[in-house]
Amino acid sequence: MSASASRLSPDDDRKLDALLQQVRKARETEMGYPTNADFDYSRLMPFLEFPLNNCGDPFVPTRFRLNTHDFEREVLKIFAQLTAFPLHESWGYVTNGGTEGNMYGLFLAREMLPTGIVYFSEDTHYSVPKILRCLNMRHIMIRSQPDGRMDLEDLRETLRLHRDVPPILFANIGTTVKGAVDDLHGIRKILRDFAIHQHYIHADAALSGMILPFVDHPQPWNREAGADSISISGHKLIGSPMPCGVVMARKAFVDRIARSVEYVGTLDTTLSGSRNGYTPLVLWYAFKSLGLEGFRNRIESCLDMAQYATDRLNELGRHAWRNENSITVVFDKPAEAIVRKWQLATERDIAHLITVPHVHKEQINGLIQDLRREAS
């Protein structure tokens, strides 16, 4: 039976309608996770009629032509600018999210430094230890400071004990729970102090990689600050109907792992074979329709909203705070009913909300009302 002739049963139609109502309602009270729901990609709907597949290297032609490689390359050029990667030395691709980007960066690091030890802080995303198990890489967890940044004194002492082994530094550019940015300049100073010339730095900039390029005084985080590879999410601050992201890396490192694949007539340089051909269109459309100046204005609004939330929460005595250039607002963990209603992320005795573009004063004020009732 052809797709045009197929029909859902009335019961299945009702299931879809119920799901639609469910997610519409959930969107109204989603404040705890960095997933922006403020977007409109209706112009791209006709492309859902095609099996778009960006298999292979986006910079190398392939026999399979149902792809969006041209648009992907435009997106990568924009991200090279945002991450301060010189075009002549940069390479990248559109991933299915931040975890794949982090895995790719660590995969390159392992190929460059097979005996290296990975150092990451205890505030690092939960997926990283899993990635390290998959890649079978030696690793050591470093303590975090109370604000979420890597404790450089602990890193210094740990590197001192293992200075004969090439270090691979996994730096957080906006930690998952506290939005903290690890001190890349401080990390590199330690490497210089120990005369460690053979090293690799990967930057997990899942959320803050779309904030720091647009603020007046960003913390050091990009290629100019010493990152060899950078992972940024697309479904977080930009907004996308499906998870996606971008990984940028030094082309010389990628060339070392490239393999020719006769089957599709291109190079195998990515982690996956088939890749989503729709997400490059989504990211391209976001940048082309909003523009870099539009993103700058959007980031400014998000930061203002984060400060508004911090001030309102502190009026209630919730001990709210946020890191510099962060839209992650940390505060005392409320009752479970409030956590569930507003879909807040929690860790031990704290919770956080994240003022991505769809979070406005109405939602924050609604949370404040619930917290006030809880306290009364």
Same-domain pairing of 26 and 117 = no
Range of the domain at 204: 46-287
Same-domain pairing of 124 and 215 = yes
CB 231 within 8 A of CB 205: yes
Last residue in a domain, options 287, 316, 335: 287
Cα(97)–Cα(17) distance, integer angstroms: 28
Predicted local confidence at residue 267, as pLDDT: 83
Predicted local confidence at residue 264, as pLDDT: 67
Instruction: Answer yes or no: is 2 within a domain.
Output: no
Same-domain pairing of 297 and 266 = no
Cα(67)–Cα(52) distance, integer angstroms: 5
End-to-end CA distance of the chain: 62
Q: Could you report the per-residue pLDDT of 192-239, keeping only the tens digit for each?
A: 999 999 999 999 999 999 999 999 999 999 999 999 999 999 999 999
Q: Which two tokens stand for residue 142?
A: 């470093």
Last residue in a domain, options 253, 287, 321: 287
Same-domain pairing of 97 and 152 = yes
CA dihedral over 237, 350, 175, 297, signed as positive or negative: positive
In order of 11, 14, 49, the CA distances from 17 in angstroms are 10, 5, 22
CATH code: domain of residue 165: 3.40.640.10
Cα(113)–Cα(199) distance, integer angstroms: 8
Instruction: Answer yes or no: is 174 within a domain.
Output: yes
Instruction: Answer yes or no: is 214 within a domain.
Output: yes
Predicted local confidence at residue 3, as pLDDT: 58
Q: Which two tokens stand for residue 50?
A: 């095609």
Instruction: Answer yes or no: is 22 within a domain.
Output: yes
Out of 127, 301, 326, 376, the active site residue is 326
Active site residue 326: yes
- Locate tokens 């409030």: which residue? 338
pTM: 0.96
Predicted local confidence at residue 257, as pLDDT: 87
Instruction: Answer yes or no: is 4 within a domain.
Output: no
Same-domain pairing of 97 and 36 = no
Q: How many domains does the chain have?
A: 2
Q: Which two tokens stand for residue 360?
A: 């406005």
Predicted local confidence at residue 186, as pLDDT: 98
Instruction: Answer yes or no: is 3 within a domain.
Output: no
Nearest to 213 by CA among 237, 247, 243, 182: 237
Mean pLDDT of each 10-residue bin along the chain, 376 residues long: 70 97 96 96 98 94 94 98 96 97 98 98 97 98 98 98 97 98 98 97 98 98 98 98 98 89 77 94 98 98 98 98 98 98 97 98 98 92
CATH code: domain of residue 335: 3.90.1150.10
SS (H, E, C) 113-164: CCCCEEEEECCCCCHHHHHHHHHCCEEEEECECCCCCECHHHHHHHHHHCCC
Predicted local confidence at residue 268, as pLDDT: 86
Last residue in a domain, options 271, 287, 303: 287
Instruction: Answer yes or no: is 1 within a domain.
Output: no
Spatial CB neighbours of 16, under 8 Å, sequence gap ≥ 6: 8
In the three-class reduction of DSSP (H, G, I as helix; E, B as strand; rest coil), residue 101 is classed as helix
Same-domain pairing of 298 and 202 = no
Instruction: Answer yes or no: is 54 within a domain.
Output: yes
Same-domain pairing of 253 and 190 = yes
Predicted local confidence at residue 375, as pLDDT: 87
CB 252 within 8 A of CB 89: yes
- Locate tokens 């939330």: which residue? 309
Same-domain pairing of 251 and 370 = no
Nearest to 146 by CA among 175, 169, 118: 175
Same-domain pairing of 167 and 26 = no
Cα(229)–Cα(200) distance, integer angstroms: 9
CB 238 within 8 A of CB 203: no
Same-domain pairing of 152 and 297 = no
Cα(91)–Cα(72) distance, integer angstroms: 12
In order of 140, 150, 171, 174, 350, the CA distances from 119 in angstroms are 5, 10, 9, 17, 26
Cα(276)–Cα(82) distance, integer angstroms: 22
- Locate tokens 């060899």: which residue? 228
Q: Could you report the per-residue pLDDT of 3-21, keeping only the tens digit for each?
A: 555 689 999 999 999 999 9
In order of 98, 120, 185, the CA distances from 136 in angstroms are 20, 15, 28
Same-domain pairing of 248 and 148 = yes
Same-domain pairing of 77 and 162 = yes
In order of 1, 2, 9, 13, 328, the CA distances from 5 in angstroms are 6, 5, 13, 16, 48
In order of 40, 244, 278, 312, the CA distances from 45 in angstroms are 10, 17, 10, 40
